[in-house]
Amino acid sequence: MGMIENIIIILYLATLGYLGFVGYKQTKNSSDYLIAGGNTHPFVMALSYGATFISTAAIVGFGGVAAWLGNSLLWLTFCNIFIGVFIAFVFLGNPTRKMGIRLNAHTFPELLGKRFDSKFIQMFGGGLIAFFMPLYAAAVLIGGTQFIVAYFQTDYHMALLVFSIIITGYVLAGGLKGVMLTDALQGVIMFVAMIALLVMVFSAVGGMDAGFEKLTTVWEKTVAPLANVDMKSLKPGSPDFMMKLSMSWGFSGWDNMPAFLSQGWLFVITTITMGVGIGVLAQPQLVVRFMTVKSKNELNRAVLIGGIFIIAMTGIVFIVGSLTNVWYYEFNEGKNALQSAGSVSKVIPHFINMAMPKWFAFIFLFALISAAMSTLSSQFHTMGTAIGRDLFEQMGFKNINSTLVTRIGVVLMIVISVALAYVFDKQPAIIARSTSIFFALCASIFLPTYFGGLFWKRMTKAGAIASMVVGTIVTSFWLLFVHFQEAKELGVCKALFGVNSLLSGKIIFVDAMIVALPLSILTAIVVSLMSKPESEKLIAKCFGND
């Protein structure tokens, strides 16, 4: 690297260190961190939220899927903004905040448990989070590790080990308190980096319109010839195998939606778009955020900044993801993105390192790693409190040190997440898939109880428990015995019945949430109406004068 690049990097690290120190000195308690004593500018606050929510899973994982499957992923950005920001902040944020404060709830399972006066709901929710959330944490870990591998040209497992040690130190040394100013700085850098990335890519491919048009040519030159190739002659998971797979799933170009109700359409719409887009509403770490703002005013302001931030993150990275095919075709010997990078998860890190200036790649790397660390801190915090507060405290172990249990829980969750990241990195599109699975699980299991708890006073404890149990059973059954990818990978169906899936045809491409969520909602309604209403005292405690 040249002198200017070194100076930029040193200045960046110095600024980060200074802001971190200032933020740490100003942060005396969690209220200071979460609402910054009520004095922080909403711009800083919203960007710190954004930097925490958008992780390497979104940028590296789903950006890579956009390079593979094209611009149909923009449906996910629409859902991210409309459902994940607008619906969540405008309609769910304030009711959640008020109920959380009234009930003195500090975790998502605790909010549900206290709303229905049920220890079982809190423990069940905590247990599910501890069991399933490592899958999502592993996705974030893999995304960050892939970028380190691409930048430093090092071994994946070595990079994962180093990244994991840094994360563990960060979390255990007080990373949970966080420092809002550095989070906001990362948000600003990510925002600027994404805009710069878009400008550079448009400039390189001749603009947006020209870039999209060239995608058609690149598809014709690099993917269409695979139509005559036998799938069995291709190595499973190889770039050409993945592109051939996308053709057999109904994709005909990066600018087109896959054929209606084809396997590809079901994957993009039910798993990627609806699974993540709807699942975001029941994310435990997101719901808790609503309880930590000072007033509805902060939520109003966060809508504006959040909307812009999300379109600048996922909107740009998905468009850039698909356009990487044009860039590689023109600047890398006529290959498409997957052929150049090697796999879905490697496209964005590989592209940033190949196509962008070295100093830009470094800044991007640090911003991505920081975003991953913010998200991972939040995830491990959620998993730790799920084990300590929602499980062990509710089990009534009075003589056990719950703080120790929580800390052990955090370390255990880190170990499990790292182990999953170690085992799963070779799986095709694993970052996007495991993120989608976790989001869909949360929707199927928690969403009816969460919505009913907030907006339907007639919903009962029995209805909530039945809904959560049905959501869990149906989702687990679908993943273990039906879904084309997960049922095959998990192998339980094969071991018990000798087949990869109990069903056949296109239905095995339908995401578990599409089946489980309606059943879970129906169960909540029917069982609630059949059971005795909750006491007026409990309803008054939950809803106040609302």
Partner 1 sequence: MGSLDLGVSLAFWLMIASAVLCVVYGALNWNKDKEEPVLNTASWDADEDKINEEL
Binding region for partner 1 (CB under 8 A): 29-31, 34, 70-72, 74-75, 77-78, 81-82, 85-86, 90, 94, 98, 100-102, 104, 106, 176-177, 208-209, 212-213, 215-216, 255-257, 291-292, 294-297, 299-308, 310-311, 315, 381, 384-385, 389, 402-403, 406-407, 410, 544-545
Q: Looking at beta carbons only, is 207 or 334 nearer to partner 1?
A: 207
Instruction: Compute the least distance from the CB of residue 243 to partner 1, in Å.
Output: 18
Q: Looking at beta carbons only, is 286 or 493 nearer to partner 1?
A: 286
Question: Distance between CA atoms of 213 and 209, rounded to whole angstroms?
Answer: 6
Instruction: Compute the least distance from the CB of residue 326 to partner 1, in Å.
Output: 11
Nearest alpha-carbon partner for 319 in 468, 479, 205: 205
Instruction: Compute the least distance from the CB of residue 217 to partner 1, in Å.
Output: 10
The CB-based long-range contact list for 93-96 (8 Å cut-off, 24+ gap) reads 93/290, 93/293, 93/296, 93/299, 94/290, 94/296, 94/299, 95/454, 95/455, 95/546, 96/287, 96/290, 96/291, 96/454
Q: Looking at beta carbons only, is 70 or 349 nearer to partner 1?
A: 70
Instruction: Compute the least distance from the CB of residue 210 to partner 1, in Å.
Output: 9
Q: Looking at beta carbons only, is 148 or 278 nearer to partner 1?
A: 278
Instruction: Compute the least distance from the CB of residue 85 to partner 1, in Å.
Output: 6
Residue 330 in tokens: 């023109």
Residue 473 in tokens: 């059973």
Instruction: Compute the least distance from the CB of residue 529 to partner 1, in Å.
Output: 31
Instruction: Compute the least distance from the CB of residue 389 to partner 1, in Å.
Output: 7
Nearest alpha-carbon partner for 370 in 145, 144, 545: 144
Q: Looking at beta carbons only, is 233 or 545 nearer to partner 1?
A: 545
Q: Looking at beta carbons only, is 177 or 494 nearer to partner 1?
A: 177
Instruction: Compute the least distance from the CB of residue 76 to partner 1, in Å.
Output: 9
* CA torsion, ordered 347, 353, 356, 361, to nearest 10 deg: 110
Q: Looking at beta carbons only, is 276 or 521 nearer to partner 1?
A: 276
Residues 299, 291 contacting (CB under 8 angstroms)? no
Instruction: Compute the least distance from the CB of residue 77 to partner 1, in Å.
Output: 5
β strands within 218-269, DSSP E: none
Instruction: Compute the least distance from the CB of residue 183 to partner 1, in Å.
Output: 16
Instruction: Compute the least distance from the CB of residue 216 to partner 1, in Å.
Output: 6
Residues 144, 427 contacting (CB under 8 angstroms)? no
Nearest alpha-carbon partner for 461 in 532, 403, 513: 532
Q: Looking at beta carbons only, is 379 or 485 nearer to partner 1?
A: 379
3-state helix, strand, coil in the chain (%, to 5): 80, 0, 20
- Give the Å distances, CA to CA, from 310 to 74, 191, 198, 378, 428: 12, 9, 14, 19, 25
Question: Distance between CA atoms of 71 and 77, rounded to whole angstroms?
Answer: 10
Q: Looking at beta carbons only, is 399 or 403 nearer to partner 1?
A: 403
Question: Distance between CA atoms of 99 and 450, rounded to whole angstroms?
Answer: 11
Question: Distance between CA atoms of 389 and 387, rounded to whole angstroms?
Answer: 6
CA neighbours closer than 13 Å in the CB half-sphere of residue 250: 16
Residue position matching structure tokens 């423990």:
123
Instruction: Compute the least distance from the CB of residue 399 to partner 1, in Å.
Output: 17
Q: Looking at beta carbons only, is 488 or 506 nearer to partner 1?
A: 506
| Three-point CA angle 177, 163, 237, nearest 5° | 125
Q: Looking at beta carbons only, is 89 or 424 nearer to partner 1?
A: 89
Question: Distance between CA atoms of 109 and 182, rounded to whole angstroms?
Answer: 29
Residue 440 in tokens: 């869909």
Q: Looking at beta carbons only, is 503 or 539 nearer to partner 1?
A: 539
Residues 386, 130 contacting (CB under 8 angstroms)? yes
Maximum separation of any 2 CA atoms in the chain, in Å: 73
Residue 281 in tokens: 């509403």
